[in-house]
Structure 1
Amino acid sequence: MAGPIDAPEAPRSAESRLQQALTAARLYYVQGLTMESIARELRVSRSSVSRLIQHARDVGLVEIRVHAPHEHGASLEHEIRSRFHVTAHVVPAGAGVSEVDRLERVAMTAGRLVGEFFDSNMSLGVAWGSTIAAVSRHLPTRDTHGTTVVQLNGAGNTLTSGVGLASEILERFGTAFGADVQQFPVPAFFDDPRTKEAMWRERSTRRVLRIQDRLDIALFGLGSPLAAVPSRVYVGGYLERADYQSLREDRAVGDVSTVFFRADGTSEDIALNARGTGPAINRLRRIPRRICVVSGLPKLPAVRGALAAGVATDLVIDEALAQALVAD
């Protein structure tokens, strides 16, 4: 007759599975038991133990950290902190890694950090884009209460409402943390600054702006017309030929949440910013924690400009880009 390890397992509730995953994780990581020993103790199969431990990692019960203070990545993080006064999280990615895989590695690290920083009774502002879309696919699942995820900038243009793009990203954050989701249903850029001024007086718009003003965390990538993984604002029909000419004349090197800046970090008199819907950089700087996620050497000018503008408190960056940043 089959023993208990081989017997079919009864269905478990989500709470029961979470508790069993926690027990399995403690036995494996803290007490150092083998999966076979854990299987005997919990009276389940060895494959079930493997799934429980994976579930514990997926939902954030387990965090794996590697501390290597003498390795190159750690020294890069220290140098970036010293020079630019931000906390750097350097992600290893060798020269043979494709730009898409490089972005995915950076996004995985950023997703883990958001899971560490974002907690109950907090609000998180999220900028849409290729980078943050990647981050949204790597979020840990963790129950919180009293939390809000809000869209930082509009996403509509003459080709699309942008609702699908932004809502998909926001819903992933909302689902991961059990948070309330607040969309910002306005264009990425208005045709006329006066239209934006009028819209900003509307009560429905002011409600979202008030939520943005009380954010605990902002999460964003950096737009760049040079990126190998194209920034959506430059390839998604948001800008016309006259807009590009205007940005060249104003010497813009990149954008954060569709707000453009120069290499020296200035942004106030860039013409297109009067029509953009993202938070102005001086408004963004009021948010206590600001996580900037960036990968790829072509984004170096944008990173330098963003750091000069003081938009970030935390910088998640791939190793090659970090090396280039401190090379000067």
Structure 2
Amino acid sequence: MTGSGNGSQREQQPRITPQLLYAVGALYYLEEQTQAQIATRLGTSRPTVSRLLAEARRQGVVRIELVAPGSEDDASLAEQVRVALGLQKVHLAPFAPRAVVGASLASALTRALRSMDLQSDDVLLVGSGRAVYEVAQSDLPELPGVTIVPTVGGQDDPEPWYQTNEVTRQIAAKVGGRPVFLYAPALPGPDLHEKLMDDPSFTRVQELWGRARCAVVGVGAPPAARRSLPSFVPKDAPWIKEAVGDVCTRFFGADGQPLVFEGSDRVVSTSLEVLRAVPTVIAVASGHEKVASILAAAGAGWFTELVTDSLTASELLDAANGRLAS
């Protein structure tokens, strides 16, 4: 008897024909039988049925069509999230795989920025973080002459989304704006911080923060859910466990209020008070891991508008409704 090394009968593979692929596809997708049920019917294994379904899709015997929600559905969801989070506007992008999520969010951010009607003497602040960095790689609306200013000091990190001056330069190039750079570390030492307070280039940036008309910021996930944190963040500090997210590297707790730690008074970035004074602050954030962060930040007033994808919006609505019911 011919068998495998453990003595079991070797599975006889069915001959793959268009008819077999059609039959397996019909049983699975039309009759809604499980792969295990189909395997029993064909006298084969569940992994073989899985391979047959994959081959049916590859050959076009099975064609799967995704139908995106209509504009009315998106508008209804956006309005429900807006009300639940107490925001001015919510701009939805279709759900997209991680590899292309930046381009999808950029399209929604473009709509948000166009509605602002920014003029050449206006100031637009930009934050750091992966979401802001990813939308900076995609097409954005033309905003000729608008001054683009970073909200966070530079960080000595290899990840490009922490290089705030570079993100500022990229966005300025996309929109045709004028970049202003912030030549300061995110967390300077006491002596350097004191000198920065008197530095003309730094005070100019602070002055621009104060008269900004709009800001585009990211919302960071809880530190425990992130693959990387800015190098200045003490990863083992007790307060990190309380943090549910950050905006402009200002970490906050479940109530959305900034967390105080040693050196937090020297962090070079826009504060919650500064952002609250900006007429429109657009947060760009998506993903299951950011739902709690977005809810906390919205509740504390870190931003006034949200750019996110439809799946995250649905999760935000469920979480917000669950919080109200509890």
Using structure 2 for the length normalisation, give the TM-score. Answer: 0.68
Match of residue 84 from structure 1? 85
Q: Judging changes above 3 Å, is the alpha-carbon distance between structure 1 residues 144 and 98 closer, same or farther for their aligned structure 2 residues?
A: closer
Contact 2:223 2:240 in 1 (8 A): no
User: For the residues of structure 1 that align with 2:90 and 2:76, how far apart are their CA atoms?
Assistant: 10
SS of the residue 2:294 aligns to: helix
Q: Deviating runs (4+, > 4 A) in structure 1?
A: 159-164, 225-228
Query: In the aligned structure 2, how far is the partner of 1:162 from the partner of 1:100?
Result: 16
Distance 2:128 2:149 in 1: 11
Question: Which aligned pairs between 1:1-328 and structure 2 lie closer than 5 A?
Answer: 68-69=71-72, 71=73, 73-86=74-87, 87-93=89-95, 97-117=96-116, 118-140=118-140, 142=142, 144-145=144-145, 147-157=146-156, 165-192=163-190, 195-225=192-222, 234-242=228-236, 244-248=237-241, 251-267=242-258, 269-271=260-262, 273-327=264-318, 328=322
CA distance in 2, matches of 1:178, 1:105: 21
What letter matches 1:121 in structure 2?
Answer: D
Contact 2:253 2:259 in 1 (8 A): no
CA distance in 2, matches of 1:281, 1:200: 19
CA apart distance, 1:325? 1.3
Change (3 A) 1:104 1:204: same
Any idea what the Cα deviations from partners look like across 1:235-274, whole Å, max 9, x if unmatched?
A: 45332334x43322xx221110111111112116455532
Q: 2: CA distance between counterparts of 1:227 and 1:106? A: 24
CA drift of 1:102 comes to 3.4
Q: CA deviation at 1:110?
A: 1.4
1:67 Cα deviation (Å)?
7.5
Q: How many Å apart are 1:123 and its aligned residue? A: 0.8
Structure 2 residues not aligned, in runs of 5+: 1-68
| CA distance in structure 2 between the aligned counterparts of 1:272 and 1:91, rounded to whole angstroms | 38
Using the TM superposition, give the Cα deviation of residue 116 of structure 1 relative to its aligned residue in structure 2, in angstroms. 4.2
Letter in 2 for 1:68: S
Conserved in 2, the CA contact under 8 Å of 1:120 and 1:144? yes
The match for 1:6 is: none
Q: Secondary structure at the match of 2:163?
A: helix
Following the alignment from structure 1 to structure 2, what is the Cα–Cα distance between the partners of residues 129 and 288?
22
Contact 1:114 1:139 in 2 (8 A): no
Provide the C-alpha distance between the structure 1 equivalents of 2:206 and 2:163, rounded to a whole number of angstroms. 20
Check the 8 A contact 1:111/1:138 in 2, yes or no.
Answer: no
Paired amino acid for 1:92? P
CA distance in 1 between counterparts of 2:90 and 2:103 reads: 17
Shift in Å, 1:179: 2.0
Cα distance between partner residues in 1 of 2:113 and 2:178: 16
CA contact (8 A) 1:149 1:179 kept: yes
Q: CA deviation at 1:142?
A: 2.5
Aligned to 2:3: none
Question: Partners of 2:75 and 2:147 in 1: how far apart?
Answer: 33
Match of 1:23 in 2: none
After superposition, the Cα gap between the structure-2 partners of 1:113 and 1:169, relative to the gap in structure 1 and judged at 3 Å, is same
Assess, with a 3 A threshold, how the Cα gap between structure 1 residues 257 and 164 changes in structure 2: closer, same or farther: closer
Instruction: Tell me the number of residue pairs that the alignment of Structure 1 and Structure 2 aligns.
Output: 249
Give 1:207 deviation, angstroms: 1.3
1:314 and 1:223 map into 2 onto residues whose CA distance is: 16
Counterpart of 2:109, as a letter, is A
Residue type of the partner of 1:237? Answer: S
> In 2, are the aligned partners of 1:221 and 1:292 still within 8 Å (CA)?
yes
SS at match of 1:119: coil
Preserved contact between residue 188 and residue 276 of structure 1 (Cα < 8 Å)? yes
- Give deviations 1:91-114, integer Å, cap 9, x for gaps: 221xxx533333442233214432
Taking only the aligned residue pairs, the percentage that are identical comes to 24
SS at match of 1:326: helix
Q: In the alignment, is the contact (CA less than 8 A) between 2:222 and 2:293 conserved in 1?
A: no
